[in-house]
Amino acid sequence: MAEEIALSYQWVNDKVKALEIPVIMAVAKTGEITSTDNLNNCTTTQLGDKLAFFGAWKGFLESELSAAETRRDIVKSILENDLTRTIFEVAKNYRTEGSKVPNKEMLRAEAIATSELYQRNHSSLTKLEALCTRLVGYRNQYRAYYETVSRIIAIRTSNREEI
| pLDDT of amino acid 138 | 92
| Residues 75-99, mean pLDDT to the nearest whole number | 91
- The residues, ordered by sequence, that sit 6+ positions from 115 with a Cβ below 8 Å of its Cβ are 82, 83, 86
140, 153, 124: which is closest to 8 by C-alpha? 124
| pLDDT of amino acid 31 | 47
Long-range contacts formed by 104-110: CB under 8 A, 24+ apart: 108/83
* pLDDT digit string, tens, across residues 41-79: 888 888 999 899 999 999 999 999 999 999 999 989 989
| Residues 99-122, mean pLDDT to the nearest whole number | 89
Q: Could you give the CA distance from residue 148 to residue 145 in angstroms, rounded to a whole number? A: 5
| Residues 119-134, mean pLDDT to the nearest whole number | 90
SS3 28: coil
Measured in residues, the chain has a length of 163
9, 16, 19, 13: which is closest to 126 by C-alpha? 9
| pLDDT of amino acid 15 | 84
Q: Could you give the CA distance from residue 153 to residue 159 in angstroms, rounded to a whole number? A: 10
- The residues, ordered by sequence, that sit 6+ positions from 64 with a Cβ below 8 Å of its Cβ are 19, 135
The larger pLDDT score, comparing residue 54 to residue 12, is at 54
Q: Could you give the CA distance from residue 136 to residue 10 in angstroms, rounded to a whole number? A: 18
Phi first, then psi, for residue 149 (nearest 5°) are -65, -40
Q: Could you give the CA distance from residue 7 to residue 70 in angstroms, rounded to a whole number? A: 22
